[in-house]
């Protein structure tokens, strides 16, 4: 222990927990609780692990430099005339995929609303 009772965890311990925290379906908060560490600290270790600060991470856990936003795809599905919306009679569908999350926007959407969604996604990347 160092500074006022704050534990100084060994790098191997941090690396092992951070690697486990990268596994799909793992609850970082639950993993932290099970090992007696703060969840925010484990999230920090996971970021460091992925950045290679604890040595070379396993290949599937490595994070390469990603663009802030991935390409946005728009489609106009063929729907019956009564199911269409908007003044032009077209239905719009937008799909945004970012860091494994998918956001789909359907129907008439204001530019300001879409800009706000994209800004929020960019801020979380």
In tens, the pLDDT along 49-102 reads 888 888 776 655 555 545 566 667 777 666 555 544 455 555 677 787 776 677
Query: Which of the pair, 45 or 117, is modelled with greater confidence?
Result: 45
Q: Where are the domains of the chain?
A: 3-61, 72-124
Mapping DSSP to helix (H, G, I), strand (E, B) and coil, where does residue 33 land?
A: helix
Whether residue 31 has pLDDT greater than 60 = yes
Least Cα distance to 43 among 62, 24, 22 occurs for 22
Ramachandran quadrant class, 113 (left: phi over 0; alpha: psi -120 to 50; beta: rest)? alpha
Calculate what percentage of the chain has a pLDDT beyond 90.
18
Alpha helices in 35-100 (DSSP H): 39-51
Radius of gyration of the chain (CA): 21
Please identify which residue in the block is written with the tokens 């790098």. 11
Residue 23 CB partners (closer than 8 Å, separation 6+): none
């Amino acid at each position: 222990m160092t500074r006022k009772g704050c534990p100084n965890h060994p790098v191997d311990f941090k690396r092992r927990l951070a690697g486990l925290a990268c596994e799909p379906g793992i609850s970082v908060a639950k993993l932290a609780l099970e090992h007696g560490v703060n969840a925010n600290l484990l999230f920090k270790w996971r970021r460091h692990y992925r950045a290679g600060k604890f040595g070379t991470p396993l290949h599937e856990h490595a994070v390469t430099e990603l663009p802030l936003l991935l390409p946005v795809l728009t489609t106009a599905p063929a729907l019956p005339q009564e199911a269409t919306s908007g003044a032009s009679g077209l239905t719009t569908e937008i799909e945004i995929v970012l860091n494994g999350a998918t956001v789909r926007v359907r129907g008439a959407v204001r530019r300001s609303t879409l800009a706000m969604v994209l800004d929020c996604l960019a801020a979380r990347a």
